Amino acid sequence: MRLLGLCLVLAAIGGPAAAQEAKREPLPTEIFAELPAIEDPEIAPGGKTLAAKVANKGTQYFAIVPLEGGAPRLIGLGEVDLNWWKWVNDEWLVIGIGRLAPVEGDEWYITRAAAVNVVTGKITVLAAKDAAQSADDVIWVAKDGTPRVMMALQTSVYSNEAGFYPRVEEINLATGRRKVVQTSREGVWSWYSDGSGVVRMGIGMTDDGRSRRLLYRDHDGNAFRVIDRAKTRDDTLTVPAMFLPDLGKAVMVGDDDKGLSALYELDLATLKRGKMLFATPGFDIGGPVPAADGFHYLGVRVNRDRPGIEWTDPEMAALQARVAGMIKGGEPEIVSLNRDHSKAIVRVGFSNAPGAYFLFEPAKDSMTLLGLNNETLGMKRLHRVKTIRYKARDGLEIAAVLTLPRGAEAKNLPLIVMPHGGPFARDTEEWDWWTQFLADRGYAVIQPNYRGSSGYGTPFTEKGEGQWGLAMQDDLNDAVKALADQGIADPKRVCMVGASYGGYAAMRAAQRDGTLYRCAVSYAGVSDLNRMQRQDARFLGSGARKDWLREQAPDLKGVSPLFAPGQFSIPVLLFHGKKDRVVQPVQSRLMAKELKAAGKDVTYVEQPEGDHHFSRSADRLEFLKALEAFLAKHNPA
């Protein structure tokens, strides 16, 4: 890490003219395959240490990094997923991990929380001897500097035993001492605490997940009472987003009269919604950003064309303004703060540049570079990114992120349609190594937020019901027409590339809409929706999940590409990680087998160490090279 003067920061970032550089030779594929050097950094309460995922020689590690000198401590992840991490005090943090493990003759996903001592590096799994399947739900961290947390955990995998439903324990990370602060209750799976460590709320559900209830109490020692019920999957519970200092008062996220989520006051005694506190016209919000005391919020996460935080706290708004004033031409975001706000981690990101993380110290008016997201590219800007909007064939407005190759005229370009995963998710104006790689090879890339995507209100999401592989697919096809009508894209040179649900959409395009596309690429895609439903059936709440999936696709078999290999009419490239724990690799294996049996042009690559998230640089590189070769053959730029 090094201290950068203001002028050097500005020079590194470059102004708007940087985006207008003349087209140059394609960059080496290895550059786009680089893992982020630092990911999701969180600063310790005292501000002397940070915790983050880091990359070292193409492999991700969890790292504890001293900010005042000294070598980082790297912790290898191996076969374990690192799902989250949270500081407790300056000496301790707690992490959430998960892995597959054999249980009752099957493979289950097991979650645990572990205490990490920053000084010694020792890692201790919490409740190691009696935890069952789920034991990583840390619902409270002590605010007085002591190494105490409260965690909800299962102690049995058998539904006829009391320990099947989680209880809440207070655990001292330093001593390992545990005490039960909330016993388990039948059907209650989620417990919530206020800022002072009082368990105030629980959410219960029937085993099939179709009926839910909200339990609440205002004081420690009082009995819980049911204050709300959802009798069907479509019913919603009125759930607080945060408890306020005044007992009985909270804030909640709920829909306004247009179906867009906003932040409201909530009276817990009457369960009545009060005045609106915050909203973003045209978009949903992401929820409040809590203050260190757990009883107040500093800002609200927003989901506009580019996501970020709108700071409602005057001190934080002023701090953000100072940061923005120091980094001209950039898009700085404060992503982590220490206890007294004397230090802040700032992400300087761009839609067309990978950006970097800095340490901002207001008293010194200084920015210290912590790490570049791509050490080869640094702060260089590459290909143009913007949000466009077009009309689907039924008149619905669709927002889409368009990436155009720098230096090339936006006219008659070869096109890649890249649907996002989820499908309840969305694409925004952020750095994307896939799209930037494709633009670097001369392609325009369109990422439509098709109906059913998140962020645009409940009515927009509901328009995806019953439309998997149907109207949602039409929205993708209509993006091609919109760009062709504007003269941007050549409608005769189009391929679809996607991952997860986007991979499903790519396979569906090859099966259903081959006349519109020249090829299709699926990474970790779903080919058989019935098989996905059977996989989900092993878990509690599967009834509600089954209902939901049936609402999205009433005819699961009819919109599953696996059962119509003879209808595929274009070349297909399938990739899947053998260690994918989100979408089973059998989804791609079977699709490849059926396509080969039908005499179709299919290439299947299974990556032995690959997962669902491209966590290894080697897997990214192998995929990008295969993708480039496949496109060069079937849809050359």
> What would the pLDDT profile of 208-223 be if each residue is shown by its tens digit?
667 889 999 988 889 9
Nearest alpha-carbon partner for 43 in 94, 96, 86: 86
What pLDDT is stored for residue 546 in this prediction? 63
Give the residue ranges of DSSP H helices in 135-184. none
- pLDDT level of residue 2 (50, 70, 90 thresholds): very low
- Residue 265 contacts residue 248 (beta carbons within 8 Å): no
pTM of the model: 0.91
Chain segment 233-285, per-residue pLDDT in tens: 677 889 999 999 998 899 999 999 999 999 999 999 888 999 999 999 999 99
**Helical pair 542-552 and 529-536, crossing angle rounded to 10 deg:** 160
Q: What are phi and psi of 111, to 5 degrees?
A: -115, 145
Chain segment 374-388, per-residue pLDDT in tens: 999 998 999 999 999
Q: What is the DSSP letter of 331?
A: -
Chain segment 15-54, per-residue pLDDT in tens: 443 444 555 789 999 999 999 999 999 999 999 999 999 9
What is the residue extent of each domain of the chain? 79-231, 238-294, 384-634
- Residue 150 contacts residue 193 (beta carbons within 8 Å): yes
What pLDDT is stored for residue 11 in this prediction? 37
What pLDDT is stored for residue 547 in this prediction? 67
- pLDDT level of residue 109 (50, 70, 90 thresholds): confident
What pLDDT is stored for residue 3 in this prediction? 36
DSSP string of 375-441?
TTTTT---SEEEEEEEE-TTS-EEEEEEEE-TTS-SSSEEEEE---SSSS----SS--HHHHHHHHT
What pLDDT is stored for residue 205 in this prediction? 84
What pLDDT is stored for residue 209 in this prediction? 65
Cα 163 from Cα 70, distance rounded (Å):
44
- Residue 616 contacts residue 610 (beta carbons within 8 Å): yes
Give the dihedral of Cα atoms 51, 56, 61, 65; nearest 10 deg.
Answer: -20
User: How far are the Cα atoms of 115, 353, 407, 441, 598 from residue 18, in angstroms, in the given order?
Assistant: 45, 11, 11, 19, 50
Helix (H, G, I), strand (E, B) or coil at 480: helix
Q: What are phi and psi of 68, to 5 degrees?
A: -120, 35
Percent of the chain residues past pLDDT 90, beyond the cut: 76
What pLDDT is stored for residue 76 in this prediction? 87
Nearest alpha-carbon partner for 448 in 490, 534, 388: 388
- Neighbouring CB atoms inside 10 A of 541's CB total 17
Whether pLDDT at 57 is above 50: yes
Whether pLDDT at 550 is above 80: no
Whether pLDDT at 585 is above 80: yes
Mean pLDDT of 515-536: 89
Whether pLDDT at 494 is above 90: yes
Give the distance between the most distant pair of CA atoms in the chain. Answer: 69
User: Kindly report the CA angle at 320 between 318 and 324, in degrees rounded to 5?
Assistant: 115
What pLDDT is stored for residue 543 in this prediction? 55
Tokens matching residue 283: 């978009």
Q: What is the DSSP letter of 45?
A: T
- Residue 617 contacts residue 625 (beta carbons within 8 Å): no
Cα 472 from Cα 397, distance rounded (Å):
13
- Residue 607 contacts residue 589 (beta carbons within 8 Å): no
Which region among 141-150, 157-166, 338-347 has the lowest average model confidence (pLDDT)? 157-166
Per CATH, the number for 384-634 is 3.40.50.1820
Whether pLDDT at 158 is above 90: no
- Residue 19 contacts residue 352 (beta carbons within 8 Å): yes
First CA to last CA distance, the chain:
40
CATH class of the region 79-231:
mainly beta
Give the dihedral of Cα atoms 298, 301, 302, 306; nearest 10 deg.
Answer: 110
What pLDDT is stored for residue 6 in this prediction? 35
Cα 518 from Cα 521, distance rounded (Å):
11
When the pLDDT of each residue in the chain is averaged and rounded to a whole number, the result is 91
Chain segment 456-479, per-residue pLDDT in tens: 999 999 999 989 899 999 999 999
